[in-house]
Chain A
Amino acid sequence: MIEAHELTKRYGDKTAVDTISFTIPPGSVTGFLGPNGAGKSTTMRMIMGLDRPTAGTVTVNGKPYDHHRSPLREVGALLDAKAVHPGRSARSHLRTMAATHNIKASRVDEVIDMTGLHKVANKRVGGFSLGMGQRLGIAAALLGDPRTLILDEPVNGLDPEGVQWVRQLVRGLAAEGRTVFLSSHLMSEMAQTADQLLVIGRGRIITAGPVQDVIDSVSGAGVRVRSPRATELAALLTADGATVSSPEPSTLEVRGATANHVGELAFAHGLLLHELSPRRASLEEAYMSLTQDAVEYRSEPTSTASQKGQNR
């Protein structure tokens, strides 16, 4: 359980996180979405006590993170796959963290096996690929067998098999009753993994709720209709209070009316339909629409350099 209350972080006169309040419930996966620079990483760092909030509070499992006697047993975090000294082996890195909590060496071996790092465990981390670094970060997060997991972009740099592994891992952890809070830029991945979403833009919460609700709240349930007598149908629907647009001749995009309703209306007026399909926006579309005003670092058509943004 993570609870934030009017959490705020300002760097100089730039407000990174602006009085946000939210609750991340246990037993489910909560996705954290937002463009680069929206305040995701800053929020996660404040939860972990790495950044001090300018105002407001955030607690994990009922207490501020640094008030826990054995914090690694409460929260496991992957905030940055590079939070490792490159000169140390993966095993030594995990041992330094395990030692602080008197966690047994056998648990270090366990998380190494769990994350598939056994072949490289004694190699220096400096030579690791991004994917291996992510696995090491996840291993470190699992080390204390924590009740709450915070994962910032866990699938970044993983191959498809690794992406699927992370999905099963976090679903499994949530099924065990743990709190899982993860951010990702891969919307399709988030749609498959998360139970609910927290969408943030320019430091403020744009929307929150179950994944499907978030999608529907943006796009509404749309209906696509093709008919040789589209114009007449459009007039009828508009009169009925629906919003109709026509992307191409004899095709209508209808909002504010169900497919059933459109079909009944057409039948009642004897209008022939060639297609009648309910359309649900993808999470990606919903996300784009939600955050289009909140994109801090928009890539110019000619350049993709700013995509990476400032992600620490």
Chain B
Amino acid sequence: MTTLTTTAPAVTTPPASRAGAPAHSTFAGVMRGEWIKLLSLRSTWWTLAVTALLMALISLAAASSLGAMADDPVMAPALAEMHGAEVISGGFQIAMLTIAMLGALFITGEYSTGMIRSTFAAVPTRLPVLAAKAIALVVLTTAVTLVGAVLAYVVTMPALAEYDLVPPLDDPGTWRVLAGTVYFLVAAALFSLGIGTLLRSTAATVTLALTVLLVLPGLLSFISLDWVETIVSYLPLPASSAFIAAGGTSVRGVALSAQEGLVTIAAYAVVPLVAAAVTLRRRDA
């Protein structure tokens, strides 16, 4: 069919590379690829640093206001019931925002830049990419939350010691609050990843994720209808208080048990991811 009019067949690929160790696609490889993607972007490092610092700063602010709380006759009883670990994890709502941004951009950044086509050319079955991204986010979110908590522990120690609130490390309550915080932030990251994979646009994803995570609970709390209050109870932030808050919290609507809170939060992480997995294979990249 062809007549080769070879000019200079410059041998461009050294034959050695072909004979070398056979390189195959594996899930471990896809996982490594996603790690390199995350860690080779400056924005990731910025987000992580800001997350840990904000967690420390917010808890420092909370610890510093303990004095004012003690002097206030209305607030003083709350102080008595307070667990020191709550002060330390006090910055988790801010961390939720930065972590959600990280989760969203991890996938929408690929769609907006066109990187997704390189990604899917390397992994045309696509699902391993989503799985690897989810695992990377779980690990990274856990790590940064722990770093933030250690920082917060160190900076709030003097203020907490004054009110005898330094969380004892042998108290299960301390670890329950910390584990709850990690659990919630991991879920927030996966929620954004799932939404981002479904919507593919950074602006739409960030808007939707922040609306559900942050705006709705505040906005709907002004409405005193029963069914609205029920909905609010199942929004991520209110639901998380069922297992993050060590003491009792005043909740309107449905009072979720810790288990119900955990399941509700898990649903926010899992449902969008499953929907994303279903659509990911079918859609044009």
**A-side interface residues toward B, CB under 8 Å?**
25, 27-28, 45, 48-52, 65-66, 68-73, 75, 77, 79-80, 82-89, 92-93, 95-97, 99-104, 107, 110, 114, 140, 142, 144-145, 168-169, 171-176, 195-196, 210
Contact = CB atoms under 8 A, between A and B. Distances in A.
Contacts of A84: 113-115, 118
Contacts of A82: 113-114
A175 B6 contact: yes
B36 A99 contact: yes
Given A87-B41, A172-B9, A100 B29 contact: yes
B37 interface: yes
Contacts of A97: 33, 118, 122
Contacts of B284: 45, 50-52
Contacts of A75: 121
B252 interface: no
Given A50-B285, A172-B12, A101 B20 contact: no
A153 to B, nearest CB: 15
Interface string B65-100: 000000000000000000000000000000000000
A85 B36 contact: no
B13 interface: yes
Interface in B230-282: 282
B172 interface: no
Given A28-B4, A66-B124, A114 B12 contact: yes
A286 B35 CA distance: 50
Interface residues of B, number: 54
Interface of B: 1-14, 17-18, 20-21, 23-26, 28-30, 32-37, 40-43, 109-110, 113-125, 282-285
B121 A71 contact: yes
A195 B40 contact: no
A96 B40 contact: yes
Given A77-B121, A83-B118, A195 B41 contact: no
Nearest to A141: B121
28 contacts: A25-B1, A28-B1, A48-B124, A49-B120, A50-B121, A52-B284, A66-B124, A70-B25, A71-B122, A82-B113, A83-B114, A85-B109, A85-B110, A85-B115, A96-B34, A96-B37, A99-B30, A99-B32, A102-B23, A102-B26, A110-B17, A114-B13, A145-B17, A168-B10, A171-B8, A172-B11, A196-B2, A210-B3
